[in-house]
Structure 1
Amino acid sequence: MLDKYNPAEIETKHYANWQEKGYFQPHMDASQESFSIQLPPPNVTGTLHMGHAFNQTIMDGLTRYYRMKGRNTAWIPGTDHAGIATQIVVERQLGEQGVSRHDLGREAFLAKVWEWKEQSGGTITQQMRRVGCSADWTREYFTMDDTRAEVVTEVFVRLFEQGLIYRGKRLVNWDPVLGTAVSDLEVESVEEQGSMWHIRYPLADNPSDGLIVATTRPETLLGDVAVAVHPEDERYAHLIGKELLLPLTGRKIPVIADEYVEKDFGTGCVKITPAHDFNDYEVGKRHDTLLVNVFDLTAKVLAQAEVFNFQGKAQQGFALPEAYAGLDRFAARKQMVADLEAQGLLAAVKPHTLMTPKGDRTGSVIEPMLTSQWFVAMSAKPDGGEPESEFKGLSLSEKAKKAVDSGAVKFIPENWVNTYNQWMNNIQDWCISRQLWWGHQIPAWYDENGNVFVARSEAEAQKLSGSQNLTRDEDVLDTWFSSALVPFSTLGWPSETEELKAFLPSNVLVTGYEIIFFWVARMIMMTTHFTGKVPFKDVYIHGMVRDHEGKKMSKSEGNVIDPVDLIDGIDLEQLLVKRTTGLRRPEKAPQVVEATKKLFPEGIPVFGADALRFTMASYASLGRSINFDFKRAEGYRNFCNKLWNATNFVLMNVEEKDCGQDETQPLAYTFADQWIIGRLQQTEAAVTEAFDTYRFDLAAQTLYEFVWNDFCDWYIELAKVQLQTGCPTTQRTTRRTLVRVLEVILRLLHPIMPFITEELWQTVAPLANAKRTGSIMLAAWPVADTEKIVQTAFDQMAALQDLIGAVRNLRGEMGIAPNVKAPLFVEGSEDLVGLLKYLPSMTRLTEANIVGKLPENEDAPVAVCNGARLMLKVEIDKAAETARLTKEAEKLQKALDKLNAKLSKPGYTEKAPAHLVEKDRAELAELEDKMAKVQTQLAKLKD
């Protein structure tokens, strides 16, 4: 007998053993096919969330599946240094001590970050272990470790030497609070209620006339270089080429024609500010305007405008109005609007709903800013230095396109190819520099004249420059730059290692759709460019995990679920403290408390990792986002208990008994044995296909139905009969079937439910005479044998199930209580004899016998099943049965009256939706049928 199922106890025990024995490591047998998978490196600042649990259940399931298939399997884990997030965390800690990073200086600040990383940076990987992730922790990397730093430098230098990295002045997303460029992924578009200001721009040669320009950002007016109209807009055709007086400045700017302008939006006139708007930047480039920057890096108005051409060369600047110099952009907006109104140039102010870009870390409004940055050229051809491959000579964007177009990289589901191509077709050069201290410092040095020297070390840069007096570039690289290299930076590149040969390309990348642009595409670019191989063969895109109402999980909304809380359980008091501590917006605490009490009035019970994983697997249909339902997790916790109890039953009946291990002893398989063995083969084939096609939902559904319905509810119950009434050979065969089917079930379940299957398999495997491997994760994956599918056994099982269903319906029709047993008479073929022995225990009968003709008893209902007639012999208490049926008739009549009244209500059937009317009519017909049967039985009782 097994002890009571205790997830925490078995999870701790088995994970420690797996890791200690080195089971997660590849066997590196070159004669065997490899399977490898890269973990999308989570932020070192992070903790596990439901998206991670979903993603990692899929990855670990695949890893365990292919490991059991004998592959040379490597799941390579690591964490990302998360430049912005990590720097913010450490700066916040220093701020609590009244210290800034500038007080410490760069070197001392970075020492503090490394200190924090050593203390807190492993939290998320420890949590991954709690979920059961069988990653090869001996290969764990950190994107800022020494090995990765060397690869990053090597890649940067080679790209520079090939003409694919350059420094230039371009428009970027700028966070004025962080003081750095940020990627699109770090920008959130927030819907806000703002205003649309209609401003009159006077004509230079006739100031009493002019154009009305509508804008949501009047503070950028100081940087206008033109006003654009649509070339086919007849209202303004006569003004194209003329000059306007830029309000508040007196500067002259031209009217230009460009198809970017929407004639029917606003006034049809658009101010062009190429140094402060991405769309305007493209318009300005087409018309070769100047770029006029009017803000400093803290988003305050400059005293002197900075002017550049599109080649980044500085031009003659000019003074900006003193009234605005030094003002924050929004204070300047307020002042400028007031001045425009005072000068009679403000035509109108209208409410306007707009999407405001904000930094996801600071909440500050992102400012398009013209700054000097480092870029990777997406469309330029490399100047040599590539490995021989089908991708040689192509630009980075062409390589990324070809990899997918050729089918070398496949997206699953396939529709994500459209999203990928949409981005690739509109790709811009990649800004890779960040104005931070934490990150890979750019390997570039400057001499006294500003000449740049890119090198692998300062000594190499000095050699290139011929000068000892060099200053290193202070910027660091975008976090996505180093993470784009992990397909080969984690396998020993630039050396030709055995790991690089075995595990590149990896078999599949499992990731979310939101980083297709930022990570997936860039890994394809970098890996094809530097190795000549694609980084992975398949890209499995999964959906987002939302709450039970379909809302995005957010700490401030109080609907976040910590996977570890689901595994271990947590009481309400502890949960409230945990959820309200460290909120970014403390004012949200009352809302979080109420949401938590509503979702978890008694806290979260213990589910264990296996139930959580099975829940996640059941949701993993291709590409769809999921609404996490707490009730489903409860159902799969019950499934774990069902499996545990079923194993207990099997052990009680087979331990220290003959289970057919001796192959020389005779066996006698019944149709029930053959049926469950055949169903097992079908299940093996279906689950294998599901894993091969990334349909974890189908794998989970197939396993759940087979284990719960076929094995537990049907075969175990039939096995009880065979063990009680069968001959020794039948009993031996039944025990053999029980343990062998159970042992295979455990292997099939293992990729999704690793802990409980390991615990049970260690006891079951010896009884099933299974090959011992030390761990179920090293046991062979089951392979279906279609020859074991016996159709006659399936036919007999279907007949038995029909008989059992018919008897149960008879009991219900006669109102026989569950604790009352009765004999069954069967008028039919002798072929049914082999089935009847199962009926007493399955349908609570005293006996079940074949008779030549059913007894004459007009009061007893008769069921017809598979050509046989069935009758239960029960002495009926006419008075009690009449009372029961009369009560049933009254209940049915009330329901009929209510439904008839609804359908006869004037206009209902004409006005109500057709499907609702049809549903009501179907329900009415069903009630009438039930009433007819009750009336028939009442009539018989009266005779």
Structure 2
Amino acid sequence: MAEITKSYEPRDVEKKWYAAWLEAKAFASKVDPARPAYSIVIPPPNVTGVLTMGHVLNNSIQDILIRRARLEGKSPVWVPGTDHAGIATQTVVERELRKQKKTRHDFGREKFLEKVWEWRHEKGGIILEQLRRLGASCDWDRTAFTMDPAYSKRVLHVFVELFNRGYIYRGKRMVNWCPVSLTALSDEEVIMKPVNGALYRVRYELVDQPGRFIEVKTTRPETIPGDVAIAVHPEDPRYADIIGKKVRRPIGPAAEIPIIADNAVDRAFGTGALKITPAHDKVDYEVGQRHKLPAIDVLQPNGVLNELAGSELAGMDRFVGRKRAAELLKERGALLEEEAYSNNVGYSERADVPIEPRLTEQWWLRYPKIEEAKAAVRDGHIKFHPERWSKVYLHWLENIQDWCISRQLWWGHRIPVWYRKGADRSDPKNWHVSVDGPADPQNWEQEDDVLDTWASSWLWPFATMGWPDQAEMKQAGFDYFYPTSTLVTGPDIIFFWVARMIMAGLEFVRPGESLERRIPFRDVYFTGIIRDQQGRKMSKSLGNSPDPLVLIDKYGADGLRFGIISIAPQGQDIRFQEDRIEGGKNFCNKLWNACRFRQMSGEAGDNASLAAIAARLEPAKFDADDHAILDRLSATTAELERCFREFEFSAAVQALYSFFWGDFCDWYVEVSKAKMQAAETKANCLAIQDVVLRQTLLLLHPFVPFITEELWGLLGYAGNESVDARKPGAFIQNARLETAAEFGAALQRAGLVLDRSQSTAVEGLKTFVSQARALKAEHNLASRRDVKLFVTATDAGWATLEANLAKLARMAGAAEITRRESVEGAPAIVTPLGTIYLDLASTVDVGAEKARLKKELDLIAKHIAGTEARLANQAFVSKAPPAVLEGAKKQLADQQAKRAELERLLKGLG
């Protein structure tokens, strides 16, 4: 067996084992009817993307789930891939062209797309390579890309099917518009930013009552030439007598526009009157639709004011026009006030300019299977974690609006609609809709627009598995792996992706079969958002996000994974703390050192299986600590089973940390050192350590895969395989992780029945030691080993202590521990087994000790008051289970006893 080196070097270990896993195709999926399937599809990162802390969290969790599934004996698949990210990728390539002082129009559509593909082949897979550094165990042979020819055909097939089923139509409606990219945007591609601007108070004169005005407040005076009405609330008494009358637009082409009544007006905001510009505001558009008002678009697609804005504004950029419009209003006496105003403005995510609400002709989708999509979550066929997101999901479906699926881009899936040349494009009779196009293409022109990126990724769970081609589905194991098991994603795309995938699966997969057979996944885990210490979302622009690759170089991939999961409670936003990543590295070092200590302590014997190690145990030689450590290991195994059932990964990490560092390293290894010096107990003690380390490595492997793979071989758990070049079947992932029940059964077959009462007794000893250490530390004596301790205790408490005096003195760092009937004037601390006193009263500040005891008394008094209040609450007493009620009463009794002892100690100090 190779020697475990003095220090752990993660870079070398990570590089070695990932190469070995890839060479052995360790992550390849396999249809195995004898085993349950487990499947995950990766949320496809943008092809332009690089690894972020959000990716680290999301993909670490996916990898944890996949690796755990392997250890549980399931047959898993994790499907990787990337999204073509229409607007993001086109923006990147166009930016490169601008450096050459060219635009895409200099190349034309086909040549430009060749440039995009060149970029994609050169740089489009960076993030997948970075995920390998993180340890992602994807089936890389299944890597998909939303613009792959086969995948693209599936996207177009779905468009044609939905069109033929009456879900897709073309119409002129309000969209988010980017004046730079010159395309419609989804809400997800719009980032709200606080903007410091101005609020303009403008008056409009009534036509039939010269000298009487109605006032409005607006942030966009440049759109006044597009005003078609002034709206007030129908129940606002201020304007009741002028509803139906007309006012004159103060700037732009002369026009008389009506005053209308509409419930959309907020009487409390501004003046209670609202200018209605249907072509430039979503609310105004809806008001205009209700009142059959015209829509006057005063902006060109690039944000420049057009001739409908009037000769005084036409040709100006929208923001220049805003200033000029204010000047014109002031010159004409219509601008009453201009005040500083801050509000949130939508920005194009890629172009970083304010978007424009704009009326354009687009392709729209009426969502299919809405009611079934509600039922899928409401009735528990799909479970959300945390469950609260199901309410958000259902609320959105209750208020769902049609989806704008077209984008004015060149990079993407070109919409498979052709128009007859020279004919009226608005007439569907002149349309041809198919995947492959018309038989006589010379007579037709294809639609220029491409599909929204989400219109491809909503098919991801089944389109990546060969659907709808039967032969490809069989090859991909569709019937075995679908529905997928778990989706890990962010709540910010619950509508844009999660809900849409559910509707797509219900519409297209296994029509006529049960809902459970058609859903795309069974569980959805929503991660939190990673924020900095100030609570700000991490971003490149703020410069507050660390580079994950730098963190991997500094702390190792395992350290990063363990650290990030430790600070990520289920579904909650995360305050990033680099010291917790360092803590992950320290944990890995602790694991390495503990395993090295075990190797240096003696030969391991047969470690090839749990049964083989258990056969080396000698139950007759077990003491309380031996029983306790295996009982705690069994309990930790059970706790991890609960954590995985309930998707509590942070709790799982904390349970592993507490067991391994606290129970095993800090206690069991230390108390075992004496036993390992004795020939009659050494072999049994080492066998126990081998059991613990084997099970611990298996439990830890999903979280820290590299170091556990290395130690698995170094400690002989891979059998006689070479440490560095073991056969694929000897990888740790191919071992069977015993459940808590199976673990206990294996020990029983070896003749060992764990005595859990011994575990309870040991917990009392550990508390005694930790309190003794705390008392020493309180008085700056932590490093002293010559301190004497006195104890006052009941006969039962002292009997437990007396049986373990040598061990307790060694663990607490005391010269001796002796019993006293009473002790006066010494600093003390209360434990369940008795009260500990420092025999150092002469060196202790009695005044400071009194202050400490008084502070502790105040704290225990608050706890007592809280428990008493709970027991006095009839609602609690009447509804609480008997065990809970008894527990509360016992807690109160313990608290009262501790208060009495603290009062006695304080009195003893005078």
Bin for the TM-score computed over the shorter chain: 0.7 to 0.9
| Matching of residues 361-400 of structure 1 within 5 Å | 361-378=350-367, 395-400=368-373
Which residue does 2:885 correspond to in 1? none
Which residue does 1:253 correspond to in 2? 257
In structure 1, the gaps of 5 or more residues are: 306-319, 379-394, 569-605, 900-923, 937-943
Asked whether the 8 Å contact 1:491–1:500 carries over to 2, the reply is yes
Distance 1:321 1:816 in 2: 83
Alignment of 1:801 with 2:752, yes or no, is: no
Aligned partner letter, 2:378: D
Which residue does 2:626 correspond to in 1? 673
Which residue does 1:941 correspond to in 2? none
Aligned partner letter, 1:518: F
Alignment of 1:217 with 2:220, yes or no, is: yes
Which residue does 2:670 correspond to in 1? 717
Deviation at 1:824, TM superposition (A): 10
Distance 1:235 1:795 in 2: 76
Task: Name whichever of 621-630 and 221-230 sits farther off.
Answer: 221-230
Alignment of 1:335 with 2:324, yes or no, is: yes
Distance 2:222 2:799 in 1: 95
Aligned partner letter, 2:482: L
Partner-residue secondary structure (3-state), 1:35: strand
- Normalising by structure 1, we get a TM-score of 0.81
Asked whether the 8 Å contact 2:567–2:580 carries over to 1, the reply is no
Asked whether the 8 Å contact 1:488–1:504 carries over to 2, the reply is yes
Partner-residue secondary structure (3-state), 2:505: helix
Distance change (3 Å), C-alpha of 1:799 and 1:695: closer
Distance change (3 Å), C-alpha of 1:241 and 1:651: same
Deviation at 1:892, TM superposition (A): 6.3
Alignment of 1:752 with 2:703, yes or no, is: yes
Aligned partner letter, 1:781: L
Partner-residue secondary structure (3-state), 1:507: strand
Distance 2:712 2:578 in 1: 29
Task: Name whichever of 542-551 and 819-828 sits farther off.
Answer: 819-828
In structure 2, the gaps of 5 or more residues are: 512-517, 746-752, 857-898
Asked whether the 8 Å contact 1:453–1:461 carries over to 2, the reply is no
Task: Name whichever of 255-264 and 191-200 sits farther off.
Answer: 191-200
Distance 1:550 1:470 in 2: 55
Asked whether the 8 Å contact 1:151–1:494 carries over to 2, the reply is yes
Distance 1:856 1:172 in 2: 82
Partner-residue secondary structure (3-state), 2:564: helix
Distance change (3 Å), C-alpha of 1:561 and 1:335: same
Asked whether the 8 Å contact 1:739–1:768 carries over to 2, the reply is no
Aligned partner letter, 1:842: M
Alignment of 1:547 with 2:532, yes or no, is: yes
Distance change (3 Å), C-alpha of 1:398 and 1:826: closer
Deviation at 1:150, TM superposition (A): 0.5
Q: Residue by residue, what CA displacement relative to the aligned partner does 1:162-203 show, whole Å, maximum 9, x if unpaired?
A: 111111111111111111111111212222232222333233
| Matching of residues 185-196 of structure 1 within 5 Å | 185-196=188-199
Deviation at 1:138, TM superposition (A): 0.8
Deviation at 1:747, TM superposition (A): 0.2
Alignment of 1:435 with 2:408, yes or no, is: yes
Partner-residue secondary structure (3-state), 1:446: strand
Asked whether the 8 Å contact 1:854–1:871 carries over to 2, the reply is no
Distance 1:268 1:870 in 2: 73
Aligned partner letter, 1:100: T
Deviation at 1:349, TM superposition (A): 2.8
Q: 2:390 aligns with which of 404, 417, 422?
A: 417
Distance change (3 Å), C-alpha of 1:447 and 1:536: same
Which residue does 1:473 correspond to in 2? 447
Q: 2:460 aligns with which of 473, 480, 486?
A: 486
Q: 2:542 aligns with which of 540, 554, 557?
A: 557
Task: Name whichever of 648-657 and 520-529 sits farther off.
Answer: 648-657
Distance change (3 Å), C-alpha of 1:794 and 1:470: same
Q: Residue by residue, what CA displacement relative to the aligned partner does 1:560-593 show, whole Å, maximum 9, x if unpaired?
A: 101111110xxxxxxxxxxxxxxxxxxxxxxxxx
Which residue does 2:505 correspond to in 1? 527
Deviation at 1:210, TM superposition (A): 3.8
Task: Name whichever of 130-139 and 20-29 sits farther off.
Answer: 20-29
Partner-residue secondary structure (3-state), 2:414: coil
Deviation at 1:254, TM superposition (A): 1.8
Partner-residue secondary structure (3-state), 1:168: strand
Deviation at 1:105, TM superposition (A): 1.3
- Normalising by structure 2, we get a TM-score of 0.84
Distance change (3 Å), C-alpha of 1:822 and 1:205: closer
Q: 1:97 aligns with which of 96, 100, 103?
A: 100
Alignment of 1:167 with 2:133, yes or no, is: no
| Matching of residues 762-911 of structure 1 within 5 Å | 762-766=713-717, 773-785=729-741, 788-801=753-766, 804=769, 818-820=784-786, 835-836=804-805, 838-839=807-808, 841-843=810-812, 882=842, 884-885=843-844, 888-889=845-846
Distance change (3 Å), C-alpha of 1:891 and 1:622: closer
Which residue does 2:878 correspond to in 1? none
Alignment of 1:289 with 2:293, yes or no, is: yes
Aligned partner letter, 1:790: D
Deviation at 1:327, TM superposition (A): 2.3
Deviation at 1:330, TM superposition (A): 2.6
Quick one: percent identity of the two aligned structures? Answer: 42
| Matching of residues 572-583 of structure 1 within 5 Å | none
* Aligned pairs, number: 825
Which residue does 2:201 correspond to in 1? 198
Which residue does 2:874 correspond to in 1? none
**RMSD, matched Cα:** 3.6
Distance change (3 Å), C-alpha of 1:810 and 1:527: closer
Aligned partner letter, 2:112: F
Partner-residue secondary structure (3-state), 2:177: strand
Partner-residue secondary structure (3-state), 2:524: strand
Distance 1:182 1:800 in 2: 64
Partner-residue secondary structure (3-state), 2:316: coil
Asked whether the 8 Å contact 1:743–1:765 carries over to 2, the reply is no
Deviation at 1:491, TM superposition (A): 0.7
Task: Name whichever of 495-504 and 536-545 sits farther off.
Answer: 495-504
Distance 2:419 2:782 in 1: 94
Partner-residue secondary structure (3-state), 2:44: coil
Task: Name whichever of 289-298 and 5-14 sits farther off.
Answer: 289-298
Alignment of 1:644 with 2:592, yes or no, is: yes
Deviation at 1:847, TM superposition (A): 8.3
Which residue does 2:275 correspond to in 1? 271
Asked whether the 8 Å contact 2:789–2:836 carries over to 1, the reply is no
Which residue does 1:512 correspond to in 2? 490
Which residue does 1:910 correspond to in 2? none
Q: Residue by residue, what CA displacement relative to the aligned partner does 1:115-160 show, whole Å, maximum 9, x if unpaired?
A: 1111111110111011111111111111111111110110011111
Asked whether the 8 Å contact 1:229–1:268 carries over to 2, the reply is yes
Q: Residue by residue, what CA displacement relative to the aligned partner does 1:392-419 show, whole Å, maximum 9, x if unpaired?
A: xxx4433432322232222211111222
Deviation at 1:342, TM superposition (A): 2.5
Asked whether the 8 Å contact 2:278–2:295 carries over to 1, the reply is yes
Aligned partner letter, 1:343: R
Alignment of 1:46 with 2:49, yes or no, is: yes
Distance change (3 Å), C-alpha of 1:529 and 1:352: same
